[in-house]
């Protein structure tokens, strides 16, 4: 199939001449909207040549919002999204908020002999249109979908069984997310015997190492398929001490044949192609679409009239705005913002589902809870969309779409639904006696493992800060970050580090005060255990940010996409070589800090307050170096040499 050139808008000569200098917002046919930028001077060109006009669809690539003119822009070139305030400079088709981030897909302007302007969209062939298959009959019991937890479902596809994104035990994002639902009690048996697993991306609510640790002990050879993202899904597997032996990385948009009836392909996200993927399954010509966490799956180009669709729904899957403080971030502002954002997300998800028009739709990948008592504020503040609210809205506008709110162990039979959408036996409730909601998460087991990092010997030496940030290799960005270690309640703690990092040059510097130049500034208070585990292992910063394990103020109030995307996705794949660091410190006889870790567990939890003379504790020998090193030997997580 060839790429198509589709004319999406035609303007007459007069309409073209009436375009004002700067951005013009134009309504087209079929409710399509366009943004056309006209420069002050047009250069001469032959027929069909772009002579300075730039154009795009009036759709924000983040979550499909509509742009309006930015009243603060005196050059009339910048648009602002009505959903989240993203700003697009139409002179360059580059987003300027968030800065240094995305480009907008452009339409091709062409001029005809009549003096009119037309906008042309180049549409590449969609991969699922290659080698199409006729839909064959699916018998009852042939295709069954069973929900386990969060984004994890088991699909029976003929004689093949597969799982998606198995997060079935333990926390995600260090200690911030916990399973809302209790998975079926036989989850490990079924996961270990499945034919294959699809893992969408490296976030720990999809790539769950506590789950894989148990699977590894039972069957390390289960086939696992992931997409060929720029940051490999399993790039940090070794640091977690897990080794799965049968991981296959697949090209995007290429069918993976399982048998004569079953094939699937992995597609990338249009907003985060370096991270997120989604899944399209073809069983006997029937499509199952799993968009997972993709903000703009496959750039918004999705198959229509699929048989089954599943997607995330809840919102609240990041620290903003709950973990932000200062300036406008009052409790009233946060509450109103979250309410508005959830409403926008609700309608956006509804639009996407209605566009795809599946036979069956169900919301998943949002069933988590901030269960730990220290995160009560987050739990109370971070209101989420109800799956029933989304299903009700979809049914209101598209009553022909069959919606389902899953519970652990519940399932549906696609064959029965295709035969009779009103067959009440097509949907089965969980087996009698099934526990639905979790009420025990074994907090201490996981928090103790995190907090053991606090006592690693590297943190006795202040030089670890410079060593770590030079390993990071983030540079040439006018940003100063102040990092403050705290207890679980974000209060001062004995043995903590407070330091600044300035990223303006080729190599980071570590000033004691904010520089005199104009600069961007972040102050980040981090729970000491999660902070040190992140530094020690070289993990991405999602555990800190998405896991609600920090509190942030920023000046000015700007989202620094380049910084956060680097720290959450683009850090070096090899961890810091801490053994070499320790050898260097010992060889030169470096003197460590006298107090570099809390003296007891109660201080970490914040159940024992640090005395008022806390600042002086950092400067005096409350703990001897010998005691500190002994604690490190007893409690630290060993940095493994590989």
Contact predicate 560/524, CB 8 Å: no
328 and 361 inside one domain: yes
pLDDT tens-digit series, residues 1-24: 566 889 999 999 999 999 999 999
Judged against a pLDDT cut of 90, whether residue 212 lies above it is answered with: yes
pLDDT band at residue 63 using 50, 70 and 90 as cut-offs:
confident
Q: Given CA atoms 65, 92, 108, 34 in this order, what sign does their dihedral have?
A: positive
Q: Give the span between the Cα atoms of 328 and 553, in whole angstroms.
A: 11
226 and 297 inside one domain: yes
How large is the average pLDDT for residues 262-274? 93
For the record, the structure tokens of 217 come out as 């002990």
In a domain, 8, yes or no: yes
Judged against a pLDDT cut of 60, whether residue 630 lies above it is answered with: no
Judged against a pLDDT cut of 80, whether residue 637 lies above it is answered with: no
pLDDT on residue 98: 86
Contact predicate 532/635, CB 8 Å: no
**Residue 8, Cβ neighbours under 10 Å: how many?**
18
SS3 80: strand
76 and 182 inside one domain: no
State the residue range of the domain holding 224: 138-440
Integer distance in angstroms from the first to the last C-alpha of the chain? 48
How large is the average pLDDT for residues 469-487? 98
pLDDT tens-digit series, residues 300-322: 899 999 999 999 999 999 999 99
pLDDT tens-digit series, residues 529-569: 999 999 999 999 999 999 999 999 999 999 999 999 999 99
114 and 145 inside one domain: no
15 and 79 inside one domain: yes
173 and 206 inside one domain: yes
In a domain, 130, yes or no: no
Average the pLDDT over each of 150-154, 155-159, 343-347 and give the range with the smallest value: 343-347
In a domain, 484, yes or no: yes
Give the DSSP letter of residue 587.
Answer: H
Total residues found in the chain within this entry: 642
User: Which residues are CB-neighbours of 485 under 8 A, at least 6 positions away?
Assistant: 493, 496, 497, 498, 526, 527, 528, 531, 532
pLDDT band at residue 85 using 50, 70 and 90 as cut-offs:
confident
How large is the average pLDDT for residues 611-616? 34
Final residue of a domain: which of 407, 440, 473? 440
pLDDT on residue 624: 30
Average the pLDDT over each of 49-63, 328-342, 542-556 and give the range with the smallest value: 49-63
Alpha carbons within 13 angstroms on the beta-carbon side of residue 456 total: 28
* Structure-token match 């989850």, residue found: 187
206 and 238 inside one domain: yes
pLDDT on residue 512: 96
Judged against a pLDDT cut of 50, whether residue 636 lies above it is answered with: no
**390: phi then psi, degrees, rounded to nearest 5:** -65, -45
Of 366 and 231, the structure prediction assigns the larger pLDDT to 366
Q: Give the span between the Cα atoms of 514 and 492, in whole angstroms.
A: 21
User: Which residues are CB-neighbours of 384 under 8 A, at least 6 positions away?
Assistant: 314, 315, 316, 342, 366
203 and 118 inside one domain: no
For the record, the structure tokens of 99 come out as 């800065």
Judged against a pLDDT cut of 80, whether residue 59 lies above it is answered with: yes
Q: Give the span between the Cα atoms of 287 and 280, in whole angstroms.
A: 7
Burial class (CB in 10 A: 0-12, 13-18, 19+), 47: exposed
Q: Which of 111, 112, 126 is nearest to 55 (CA)?
A: 111
Alpha carbons within 13 angstroms on the beta-carbon side of residue 83 total: 19
pLDDT band at residue 113 using 50, 70 and 90 as cut-offs:
confident
Say what angle helices 443-451 and 528-537 make with each other, to 10 degrees: 60
Range with top average pLDDT, 39-53, 108-122, 311-325: 311-325
* Structure-token match 């997409």, residue found: 227
What CATH code is carried by the domain that includes residue 242? 3.60.15.10
pLDDT on residue 601: 87
96 and 197 inside one domain: no
In a domain, 322, yes or no: yes
Percent of the chain with pLDDT over 90: 82
Q: What is the DSSP string of 474-498?
A: --S--EEEEEEEE-TTS---TT--E
| CA dist list (Å): 87 to 72, 210, 474 | 11, 40, 25
Q: Give the span between the Cα atoms of 471 and 71, in whole angstroms.
A: 42
For the record, the structure tokens of 466 come out as 């410079």
pLDDT band at residue 603 using 50, 70 and 90 as cut-offs:
very high
179 DSSP β-pair partners: 368
81 and 181 inside one domain: no
SS3 12: coil
pLDDT on residue 2: 62
Contact predicate 66/74, CB 8 Å: no
Judged against a pLDDT cut of 60, whether residue 616 lies above it is answered with: no
For the record, the structure tokens of 22 come out as 């700067």
In a domain, 642, yes or no: no
Q: Give the span between the Cα atoms of 417 and 430, in whole angstroms.
A: 18
pLDDT tens-digit series, residues 396-454: 999 999 999 999 999 999 999 999 999 999 999 999 999 999 999 999 999 999 999 99
pLDDT tens-digit series, residues 369-393: 999 999 999 999 999 999 999 999 9
What CATH code is carried by the domain that includes residue 9? 2.102.10.10
Contacts of 367-370 with C-beta under 8 Å, sequence gap 24+, read 367/149, 367/150, 367/179, 367/180, 367/181, 367/314, 368/150, 368/172, 368/177, 368/178, 368/179, 368/180, 368/205, 368/314, 369/177, 369/178, 369/179, 369/180, 369/438, 370/176, 370/177, 370/178, 370/548
**543: phi then psi, degrees, rounded to nearest 5:** -60, -35
Beta strands in 286-401 (DSSP E): 286-290, 308-311, 360-363, 368-369
What is the number of structural domains in the chain?
A: 3
Say what angle helices 331-356 and 387-397 make with each other, to 10 degrees: 50
pLDDT tens-digit series, residues 518-527: 999 999 999 9
In a domain, 641, yes or no: no
Average the pLDDT over each of 48-57, 128-137, 281-290 and give the range with the smallest value: 48-57
Q: Which of 296, 294, 295, 292 is nearest to 311 (CA)?
A: 292
Beta strands in 158-246 (DSSP E): 160-164, 178-179, 196-198, 224-227
pLDDT on residue 619: 32
Judged against a pLDDT cut of 70, whether residue 50 lies above it is answered with: no
Give the DSSP letter of residue 129.
Answer: G
**Residue 501, Cβ neighbours under 10 Å: how many?**
20
333 and 474 inside one domain: no
In a domain, 179, yes or no: yes
Final residue of a domain: which of 389, 412, 440? 440
Task: Name the pairing type of β-strands 196-198 and 160-164.
Answer: parallel
Q: What is the DSSP string of 609-640?
A: PPPTTHHHHTTS-SS-HHHHHHHHHHHPPP--
Beta strands in 518-570 (DSSP E): 520-527, 550-555
Q: Give the span between the Cα atoms of 375 and 424, in whole angstroms.
A: 40
For the record, the structure tokens of 207 come out as 């790539």
Judged against a pLDDT cut of 90, whether residue 474 lies above it is answered with: yes
Q: Give the span between the Cα atoms of 368 and 380, in whole angstroms.
A: 14
Q: Give the span between the Cα atoms of 391 and 402, in whole angstroms.
A: 9
Helices (H), 301-433: 331-356, 376-381, 387-397, 414-419
Judged against a pLDDT cut of 80, whether residue 617 lies above it is answered with: no
pLDDT on residue 387: 97
Q: Give the span between the Cα atoms of 333 and 331, in whole angstroms.
A: 5
pLDDT on residue 629: 33
Q: Given CA atoms 281, 146, 138, 305 in this order, what sign does their dihedral have?
A: negative
Mean pLDDT of the chain: 91
Of 63 and 580, the structure prediction assigns the larger pLDDT to 580
pLDDT band at residue 102 using 50, 70 and 90 as cut-offs:
confident
pLDDT band at residue 149 using 50, 70 and 90 as cut-offs:
very high
Write the Ramachandran bin of 141: left for phi over 0, alpha for psi from -120 to 50, otherwise beta: left
**263: phi then psi, degrees, rounded to nearest 5:** -150, 160
For residue 98, say if its preceding peptide bond is cis, omega within 30 degrees of 0.
yes
In a domain, 132, yes or no: no
For residue 8, say if its preceding peptide bond is cis, omega within 30 degrees of 0.
no
Task: Name the pairing type of β-strands 308-311 and 286-290.
Answer: parallel
Q: Give the span between the Cα atoms of 104 and 95, in whole angstroms.
A: 7
How large is the average pLDDT for residues 267-283? 93
470 and 432 inside one domain: no
**163: phi then psi, degrees, rounded to nearest 5:** -120, 155
Final residue of a domain: which of 123, 155, 173? 123
């Amino acid at each position: 199939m060839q790429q198509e050139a589709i004319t999406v808008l035609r303007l007459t000569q007069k309409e073209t001449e009436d375009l004002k200098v700067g951005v013009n917002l134009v309504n087209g046919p079929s409710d399509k909207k366009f943004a056309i930028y006209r420069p002050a001077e047009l250069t001469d060109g032959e027929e069909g040549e772009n002579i300075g006009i730039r154009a795009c669809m009036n759709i924000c690539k983040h979550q499909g919002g509509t742009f309006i003119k930015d009243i603060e822009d005196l050059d009339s070139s910048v648009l602002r999204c009505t959903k989240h305030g993203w700003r697009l400079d139409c002179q360059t088709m580059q987003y300027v908020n968030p800065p240094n981030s995305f480009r907008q897909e452009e339409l091709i302007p062409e001029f005809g002999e009549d003096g009119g302007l037309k906008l042309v969209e180049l549409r590449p062939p969609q991969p699922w249109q290659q080698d199409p298959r006729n839909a064959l009959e699916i018998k009852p019991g042939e295709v069954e979908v069973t929900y386990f937890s969060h984004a994890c479902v088991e699909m029976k596809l003929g004689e093949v069984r597969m799982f998606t994104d198995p997060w079935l035990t333990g926390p995600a994002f260090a200690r911030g997310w916990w399973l809302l639902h209790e998975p079926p009690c036989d989850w490990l048996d079924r996961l270990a015997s499945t034919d294959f697993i699809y893992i969408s991306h490296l976030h720990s609510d999809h790539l769950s190492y506590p789950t894989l640790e148990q699977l590894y002990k039972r069957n390390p050879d289960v086939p696992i398929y992931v997409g060929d993202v720029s940051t490999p899904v399993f790039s940090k597997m070794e640091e977690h001490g897990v080794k799965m032996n049968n991981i296959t990385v697949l090209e995007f948009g290429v069918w993976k044949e399982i048998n004569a009836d079953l094939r699937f392909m992995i597609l990338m996200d249009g907003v985060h192609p370096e991270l997120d993927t989604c899944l399209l399954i073809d069983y006997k010509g029937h499509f199952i679409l799993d968009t997972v966490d993709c903000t703009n799956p496959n750039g918004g180009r999705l198959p229509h009239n699929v048989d089954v669709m599943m997607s995330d729904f809840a919102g609240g899957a990041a620290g903003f705005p709950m973990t932000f403080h200062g300036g406008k971030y009052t409790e009233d502002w946060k509450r109103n913002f979250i309410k508005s954002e959830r409403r926008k997300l609700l309608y956006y998800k509804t639009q996407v589902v209605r566009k795809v028009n599946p036979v069956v739709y169900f919301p998943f990948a949002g069933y988590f809870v901030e269960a730990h008592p220290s995160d009560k504020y987050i739990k109370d503040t971070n209101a989420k969309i109800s799956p029933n609210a989304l299903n009700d809205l979809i049914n209101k506008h598209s009553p022909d779409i069959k919606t389902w709110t899953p519970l652990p162990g519940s399932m549906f039979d696609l064959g029965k639904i295709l035969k009779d959408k009103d067959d009440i036996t097509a949907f089965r409730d969980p087996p009698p006696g099934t526990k639905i909601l979790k009420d025990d998460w074994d907090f201490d087991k996981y928090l103790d493992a995190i907090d053991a990092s606090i006592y690693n010997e590297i943190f006795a030496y202040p030089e670890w800060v410079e060593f770590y940030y030079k390993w990071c290799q983030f540079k040439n960005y006018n940003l100063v970050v102040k990092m403050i270690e705290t207890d679980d309640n974000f209060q001062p703690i004995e043995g903590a580090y407070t330091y600044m990092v300035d990223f303006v040059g080729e190599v980071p510097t570590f000033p004691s005060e904010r520089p005199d130049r104009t600069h961007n500034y972040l102050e980040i208070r981090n729970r000491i255990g999660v902070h040190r585990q992140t530094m020690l292992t070289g993990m991405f910063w999602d555990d800190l940010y998405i896991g609600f394990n920090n509190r942030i103020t920023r000046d000015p109030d700007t989202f620094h996409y380049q910084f956060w995307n680097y720290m959450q996705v683009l850090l070096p794949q090899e961890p810091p070589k801490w053994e070499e660091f320790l050898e260097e410190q010992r060889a030169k006889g470096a003197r460590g800090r006298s107090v570099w870790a809390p003296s007891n567990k109660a201080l970490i939890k914040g159940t024992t307050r640090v005395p008022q003379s806390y600042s002086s504790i950092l400067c005096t020998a409350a703990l001897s170096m010998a005691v500190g090193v002994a604690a490190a030997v007893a409690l630290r997580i060993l940095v493994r040499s590989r």
